[in-house]
Amino acid sequence: MKYLIVGLGNIGPEYAHTRHNIGFMIADELVKDLDGTFSNTRLAYYAEVGFKGRKLHVIKPTTYMNLSGKAVNYYMQELRIPIENVLVIVDDLALPLGKLRLKLQGSSAGHNGLKSIEGLCGGQGYPRLRFGISDNFGRGQQADYVLAPFDKDELPELPGLIDKSVELIKSFVTIGPAKTMTAFNQ
C-alpha cells in the first residue's frame, strides 16, 4: 500500500513558522520520525519513507499555497496513488488551536490551498487532516493572522500537537480512516 501525504504551506523563511505552514511542520516531523529526508524535486520537497509495510510519499508543494493542486495532481499521477490514499494536512480557522479533525471529504471552506486541490484533482473527495489554528483575529485581519507566527503562549503546546498529528497519520495508513476518526476526532 502506498500513500501520498501532503503538507500544505508556503516556501521561504518568512513563512517557516506561521500558522498557515502547520502542514509543512507536521510533514517535517513525520519524515524526521521515520528517518527520512526531503529532497527538492519537481513542484515539491519530496520524501519517501516506510512505516509498517506501507510506503509513504510525503510532499511539501513548492508552488505556494494557492497552487498546491498542481503538485498534488502531479504526484498522484506520477506515483499512481488513488485519491482515497491521499491525505492533505491543512490549517483550519474553524477549529480551536490544536483540535484535530480527520475528514474523508468536504468543501474547501474558503481555504485557497484546498480550492486548488479540488480544482485540479477531481473534486472534494480526498481525506484531509484539519489542524485547528483558531480564529483569534479582528475583522479583515484573516490573511495577517494565518501568515503570522504562533503566539508565545501557543508555542509550548505545539510540539505535542504536532506529535499527535504524526500519530494520526500513522494510524490513517495502518488501521484506516474509520478507526482513526473514532480514535482521534474529539
Active-site positions read 20
What count of other Cβ atoms lies within 10 Å of the Cβ of residue 117? Answer: 31
Name the one residue in this structure whose C-alpha cell is 484506516: 176
Please state, in angstroms and rounded to a whole number, the distance separating the CA atoms of residues 156 and 116.
Answer: 32
For 118-175, the DSSP string reads HHHHTSS-S-EEEEE------TT-HHHHHTSBPPTTTGGGHHHHHHHHHHHHHHHHHT
C-alpha cell at 1: 500500500
